[in-house]
Amino acid sequence: MAPVAMRTAAQSLSDAKPVPFWLDDPGKPEALPALTGDEHCDLLVVGGGYSGLWTALIAKERDPERDVVLIEGHEVGWAASGRNGGFCAASLTHGLPNGLERWPDEIHKLEELGARNLDAIEAAVARYSIDCEFERTGEIDVATEPHQLEELREWHQEMEKHGFTGVEFLDRDALRAEVDSPTFLGGLWDRRGVAMLNPAKLAWGLKRACADLGVRMYEHTRGLELARTTTGMAVRTPYGRVFARRVALGTNIFPSLVKRVRPYTVPVYDYALMTEPLTADQLAAIGWKNRQGLGDSANQFHYFRLSADNRILWGGYDAIYPYGGRMSADLDQRPETFLKLAGQFFDCFPQLAGVRFSHAWGGAIDTCSRFSAFFGTAHQGRVSYAAGFTGLGVGATRFGADVMLDLLAGEQNERTALEMVRSKPMPFPPEPFAWAGIELTKRSLARADDNGGHRNLWLRTMDRLGLGFDS
C-alpha cells in the first residue's frame, strides 16, 4: 500500500471501537444467571449460539412437553453468532460448486432442503416476531479480475446444464447499475438464496422465543465434562451438574465434549469493519439501492453488505489460523488486518473517500476440510453433535439442529439418509503438520489470486483429495 493510501486508511480507523458492531447495542438483553446445583431434563443443549438455540427451539416445537435446558459458557450470541456478516444463505454445502463436487448424486435434494430451510428461518422470524432486520435481497458473486469473470460465466452455464435456475449473470454494466465500483467486471446474482439480517438480534430473538416456549437457559455456565449415567448423561458445569436423557452439542469451534470430534475442526479468525452511516449522497454515489449482499470471487475474498442504517460492513480477506488452534480474546483485534481491509475498501469504493469506520472486530469460526457441516452421535445415540459450518452457519445451523434432533430420536428420514449426514470430513493432522499445511495452502491460494487463478501442484493435490481450508 502506498504511503498516502496507508495514511488515509489509518485515519479512517482512528475512531473505530474494538468491539463487534452488532453486539454494541443498547437493546442487548440482560444475561441470565449461571446454573448452581443440579438440574434434570429430557434434553440438554450445550451452546447458546445459533446451533444450540435452533435445537432448543425446534425441540419444543416438535414436542411442547419435552423438558429442555440450554447452557451457554458466556452469553447467548456473543461468539460467532453475534460477530458474523449477517449473510443467511440457503446453501447447506458451502455453495453449490462445493456441494456438486462432493455429493453430485444428492445435490438436488441438498439444494431443495437448503431452500426449505431458509424459508423456515424466514417463517420463524415472522412467527416469533424476531426483529432482526431480515431482508431477502440475495447475494452477488463479483468478478474483479478477468479470469474470475470467465469462471463465473462458465459456472452459470454449468448451473443451467444441471437445471439450477434463479441465478442471473450480470455483465459489467448491469452489475455496476446495481452497485457501482470501478473494480467490478461482472457477477452472478442469486436473488432468493440469501437473506441479510442482524446476526446478534437473530440470536437474541431466538433466546426470547426459547424462553417463551419454556426452555430453561443458564448463561455463564460452561459444560466441562460429559459422562454416562444409568438413565442418560450428565454434564458437569462450574457450579453444578445437568442430568439429561439426551444431549445435543452445539459448541462448534469450542472444544467438543466428545473428544474424538475435536480433530475435525480448526479455528479460523475472521475480521470485519463497519463504516459510519452513509449519507444520502454517499449512498447515491455507489447506487446500492437493492441492498444485496456481495462477495468477490478471489480465494482471499471480501464480503460486504449494507446494515439497516446504511452502514457498509466490509470483512474477510485474511483468514488467520493460530498455531495449535489457540483461541484467545487477544486475537479478536488485529490492526494489520484492519489497515489492509480499510485500504482495500477505498480501492473498491473510491467514491467514499473520507468515510470513517465506527467498529473493527474479529472472532473465530470453525472450519473443516470439506467446508460444510458434519454430524454424528456418541454414547450409543444419547449424544448428538453438528460442527464445521465454515462461515455459512447463519442459515445451515437450523438444518443442523433438525439433524441433531433426528439422530437423537433414531429417525430415518430424508435428512438422516443423506451421504452428507452419514459421512465425515478428513480430520486435520496434529501439529506442527496442521499449521504447516494450512500456511502452505493459504500462500498457494494468495499466489493463485495473483496468477490469473492458476492453482499450483499443492492446491491441485488438495483438490484431488477433496481437502481444503476456508473461512
Question: What is residue 470's predicted lDDT score, i.e. its pLDDT?
Answer: 62
DSSP per residue over 204-266, as a string?
Answer: HHHHHHHHHTT-EEESS----EEEE-SSSEEEEETTEEEEEEEEEE--TTSPPSSGGGGGG-E
pLDDT band at 455 (very low <50, low <70, confident <90, very high): confident
Q: How far is CA 456 from CA 263, 421, 444, 450, in A?
A: 27, 31, 7, 12
Question: Could you tell me the pLDDT band of residue 175, with boundaries at 50, 70 and 90?
Answer: very high
Question: Mean pLDDT over residues 313-324, rounded?
Answer: 92
Burial of 126 (0-12, 13-18, 19+ CB in 10 A): exposed
One-letter identity of residue 96: L
Residue 165: pLDDT band with limits 50, 70, 90: confident
Q: What tens digit of pLDDT does each residue of 205-234 get?
A: 999 999 999 999 999 999 999 999 999 999
pTM across the whole model: 0.96
449 three-class SS? helix
Task: Give the three cell numbers for residue 308.
Answer: 439497516
Q: Are 394 and 48 in contact (CB under 8 A)?
A: no
- How far is 255 from 264, CA to CA, in rounded Å? 11
DSSP codes, 123-160: HHHHHTT--S--B---EEEEE-SHHHHHHHHHHHHHHH
| pLDDT confidence bin for 469, thresholds 50/70/90 | low
